[in-house]
Amino acid sequence: MKKLGLCLLVIAGLSGCSTTYLPDLDSSTAGSGSNTAGANQLMQEADTLNRQGKHALAREKLERALRLEKQNPYIWFSLAKTHEMEGNSGQAKNFALRAKSLSNNAQLTRNIDSFINSL
Amino acid sequence: MARKKSRRRSRRFPLRGLLLFLIGLSLPFGLYIVYLDRVVVSQFEGKRFSIPAKVYARPLELFIGKELSPQNLLAELALLNYSQSSQLSQAGQYRQQMGSVDIFIRPFTFWDEAQPAQKISLSFRGDKVSDLRSLEYNSELSLIRLEPQQIGGIYPNKGEDRELVRLEQVPQHLIDALIAIEDKRFYSHHGIDPKAILRAVFSLASGSRVQGGSTITQQLIKNFYLSSERTLQRKLKEMVMAILLEAHYSKEEILETYINEVYFGQDKNRAIHGFGLASQFFFSQSIEQLEAQQSALLVGMLKGPAYYNPRRHPERALQRRNLVLQEMHEQGMLNKPAFDRAKQKPIAVSPLPNIGQSPHPAFMDLVIRQLTRDYREEDLRSEGLRIFSTLDPITQNLAENVMQATLERLERNNKLPANHLEGAAVIVNVLDGEVEAIVGGRKSNYQGFNRALDASRQVGSLFKPAIYLTALSQPERYHLASVLDDSPFIWQERGTEDWQPQNYDKKFHGAVPLWYALAKSYNVSAARLGTELGVANVLHTAKQLGINKNMPPYASSLLGSVELTPYEITQMYHTIASGGFRTPFRAIREVTTSEGAPLSRYPLSVEQVIPALPNYLLVKALELVVTQGTGSALSSILPRGLVVAGKTGTTDGLRDSWFSGFSGDKVATVWVGNDKNEGIKLTGATAALDVWGHIMKDISASSISLQEPENIAFMKINRDSGFIASGSCMNTFDLPVEKNFIPQEARSCSGSDPAKKIKSWFNKILGK
């Protein structure tokens, strides 16, 4: 019981320390897949801009994040979602497919599939 | 009486005549003054200067985890004219320590935000940034950019270049130096200085040419409105216009315009104007950062920009600078200690920046072509636009150096005449289609024929992936180990001559597995396959991959009689490299006004044009080209374990040598040939591949790591025959295949190629 408590404490502590940004995805999609604080920061800024309706600026941030982590499917997916917010479903689908082609996370792939189906 | 009248008339006539004469004279003079006034005002009110567009390379992003060697960082700092200093006392300096580099970054307004000057420290673990900190706040930084290198400008027709500055930006000591040496009574006169006029009159009376003594306002008038001829008429006009200018505008406005107007000499075809650009050109510093002795040097140059050029004539420039400092001191603008300190400082100009004529004209050419689709040439030459390109200067410089060194070595080793070979290269980022480098010829810094963009040449076997991709897109008919027929073949088509393709080795190879036919670049089996599939279908695949040019619908197109430029064929390989997603190439990211307001963005766009599975199979086949086929010489160039894919191409008469291929992050095409279309006695595998391999090695390319698509299974391939292995075979390797179409056509382990059978037998004997 003590061990279990300790484990929970460690897990809670670890998750408290984590600053990993969750892009606007299901909470089950663990993390932004980002390895760098730089890309994380840009994704956060893009998220804020998207919430403010400044989608073109958000795409600018995400494209910059992509230059830092080109293989990161979460950034491609965020770009897809931004295109969708702008009403550009064609590009949204293509970016989502690109994200899927780079994804090795089953949950993320499912999320992308349902996003594509919803377009 | 009549006499009296006459006498009166004769007495009055001179007065009246004189009056009429004066009125007659003053009317046109008055009209002329009004005309000059309009001239002065109209030009001063409108746009005073044409500002060239500036083209920048990509800014280097710095963040923890970035793949960057300390050497490449130092190379970037050298390109940006950073100087080494243990003090880091001003922006534009760096210091190198054990395992870290500290940099005082210059301020810069990017397209999305302004970044202030700041001191940072980078630590490295191997070729990776392991720590990034602010030295001022001793805190970790998540992301920062170095200002981008200016790689060129688009200049007004006169070639004038300038960087506009506001008077508030100009240090007081620069203004003091100007007043001290050029126009002591600037703030008290009304445009002309009577003493200067007298001096001009005396010099005229004494027979010498009209000269000297112009006020700052007069100099501005001369530079701005008039020619440089030295005549009394021009001098008078200049004086009148100076008075008019002073009547309309404040001293501050006149001084600011003068500071932006003055000429500092030529940089090849570019004329350096204004103190703003001069401080960048001579000191690699912004005008705000100038010290008193630097201001004095620049002010001293105005008397004769070529004569007092500090790079060519440092002694003269030093004497002149000290004279300016002396004047400043004597006029109470510089106290004794400051004067003594300034006088002791060396000239210390920075190395000549390579901006006037772009160091990378082939890339600039691409940028200008893309820009002229959206902007008028006049605006590009005059509105001071800031263009942020995608050029990676480190990759560009490496590619240029490799091209030159490899062509020289190839000429030497193959006993070819010097300068017989020409070359071109295009390097693009796989994931976002940003063009990182363009090499337009072996002498890359010469503006001229841009082979990368304009040399349309037959592409030979570089076209074959379009055939194989068309086949692999029909998994019910073809897979990587399908049996192809490489026996004699004649193609007859109405309206064309019979076409009888030959293999490079002039042999026929019978039944060959599909992957092997591509790896060995067999022409006959490829031609048979292409015609089976239908020429139109193969050309359609090529179009999907990004070839926009009209291709002749003849069978010979299958073997690369199509003429394409290196840039065009790179687009085709880029689509393959990026998993079947076509991404139009971009050489520009953003365009802003001179103040930094966004004008246009060139956003990333992607389109899936080839399904993931056949594209994946093709990539695997192109990897086999490199490991087992015509590209195998790369193994002696590239680091062990680096997975790359590509294809060689050679045209008839050995006229063109091609290699196009990709790593995980870069797509590159290299062409080697001759401008006169003469044979070069080299194949794709012996020339272009050599250049390609060394570029990829030097830019530290990463391995291909495509995700396996759904519905993939693997089939065992007999290493000896290359065909599908039966269950008993031991010497096998795996090739991917679509899960729903796993072939059942296994062959015996002995294979089909007699030569291979013998080799296999020997291997068994030798226990390999």
Measured CA to CA, the distance from residue B473 to residue B478 in angstroms comes to 8
Return the biggest CA–CA distance within chain A. 54
**Cross-chain Cβ contact A37/B601 below 8 Å:** no
| A117 vs B35 pLDDT, higher one | A117
Output the CA torsion sign for B269, B271, B276, B282.
positive
* Chain A nearest-CA residue for B615: A101
Q: Model-level pTM?
A: 0.82
pLDDT higher than 90, residue B358: no
pLDDT higher than 50, residue B635: yes
Span B486-511, average pLDDT: 91
pLDDT in tens, B26-55: 777 788 888 888 887 887 777 678 888 999
**Cross-chain Cβ contact A37/B605 below 8 Å:** no
Q: Which residues of B are catalytic?
A: 182, 461
Measured CA to CA, the distance from residue B434 to residue A83 in angstroms comes to 20
Span B548-576, average pLDDT: 94
**Cross-chain Cβ contact B431/A59 below 8 Å:** no
pLDDT in tens, A45-89: 999 999 999 999 999 999 999 999 988 999 999 999 999 999 999
Which residue among A61, A70, A102 sits closest to B707, beta carbon to beta carbon?
A: A102
* Chain A nearest-CA residue for B578: A98
Q: What pLDDT score was predicted for residue B750? A: 62
Of chain A residues 11-40, which have a CB less than 8 A from chain B? 35-40
| B213 vs B218 pLDDT, higher one | B218
pLDDT in tens, B725-754: 887 788 899 999 999 998 887 677 765 443
Secondary structure of chain A in HEC code, one letter for each residue: CHHHHHHHHHHHHHHHHCCCCCCCCCCCCCCCCCCCHHHHHHHHHHHHHHHCCCHHHHHHHHHHHHHHCCCCHHHHHHHHHHHHHCCCHHHHHHHHHHHHHHCCCHHHHHHHHHHHHHC
Q: Is residue B606 within 8 angstroms of chain A, CB to CB?
A: yes
Q: What pLDDT score was predicted for residue B158? A: 76
Mutation site for A-interface testing, chosen from B120, B430, B431, B666 by largest number of A Cβ within 10 Å: B431
| A22 vs B672 pLDDT, higher one | B672
Which residue among A60, A66, A95 sits closest to B601, beta carbon to beta carbon?
A: A60
**Cross-chain Cβ contact A68/B579 below 8 Å:** no
* Chain B nearest-CA residue for A70: B431
Give the end-to-end CA distance of chain A in Å, rounded to a whole number.
48
β pairing state of B666-673 and B422-429: antiparallel
pLDDT in tens, B108-139: 999 999 999 999 999 999 999 999 999 999 99
Q: Is residue A60 within 8 angstroms of chain B, CB to CB?
A: yes
**Residue A24 pLDDT class (50, 70, 90 cuts):** very low
pLDDT in tens, B293-326: 999 999 999 999 999 999 999 999 999 999 999 9
Indicate whether this complex's ipTM tops 0.90.
no
pLDDT in tens, B519-534: 999 999 999 999 999 9
For residues B438 and B455, the answer to whether their CB atoms sit within 8 Å is no
* Chain A nearest-CA residue for B708: A101
pLDDT in tens, B238-277: 888 899 999 889 999 999 999 999 999 998 778 899 999 9
Query: What stretches of B81-147 adopt beta strand conformation (E)?
Result: 83-84, 93-97, 100-105, 108-109, 114-115, 118-125, 128-134, 139-140, 144-145
**Cross-chain Cβ contact A101/B607 below 8 Å:** no
**Cross-chain Cβ contact A38/B143 below 8 Å:** yes
